[in-house]
């Protein structure tokens, strides 16, 4: 699994969503990283009152495939026009640390 990043990724939801939908339309999907098989990124939905962190497992055009309620957040309903942004989150940082630890261990084993 590879974690993908991009700078200043910010768009809005193109339609309202309930708390269980996992295929989510955004106004401009191109602001988010291109994801290959096994790649992920984290996106935060924000309506200025509530936030939800989701794990994005695929992006096709302006549609994100997500795992809801990540990083201690709850799945919520959001409205068209609410923010969808790639932000620094604890889940994102923890994934990077985990990947770095795994890579270091693999390298140490390979080098003996």
Helix (H, G, I), strand (E, B) or coil at 105: helix
User: pLDDT tens per residue, the chain (112 residues)?
Assistant: 788 989 999 999 999 999 999 999 999 999 999 999 999 999 999 999 999 999 999 999 999 999 999 999 999 999 999 999 999 998 878 888 887 766 655 555 555 5
Task: Quote the pTM value.
Answer: 0.85
Which residue segment(s) compose the domain that 69 sits in?
2-111
φ/ψ (deg, to 5) at 16:
-65, 155
Q: For the CA atoms of 97, 102, 104, 106, what is the dihedral angle to 10 degrees? A: -170
Six-digit token string for 19: 């708390």
Closest CA to 24 of 51, 37, 43: 43
Task: Please state the domain count of the chain.
Answer: 1
């Amino acid at each position: 699994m590879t974690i993908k990043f991009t700078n200043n990724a910010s768009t809005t939801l193109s339609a309202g969503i309930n708390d269980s939908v996992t295929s989510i339309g955004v106004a401009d999907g191109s602001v988010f990283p291109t994801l290959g098989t096994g790649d992920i990124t984290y996106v935060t939905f924000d309506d200025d009152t509530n936030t939800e962190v989701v794990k994005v497992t695929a992006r096709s055009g302006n549609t994100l495939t997500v795992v809801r309620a990540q990083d201690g957040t709850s799945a919520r309903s959001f409205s068209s026009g609410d923010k969808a942004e790639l932000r620094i989150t604890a889940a994102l940082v923890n994934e990077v640390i985990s990947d770095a630890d795994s890579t270091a261990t693999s390298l140490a084993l390979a080098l003996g």
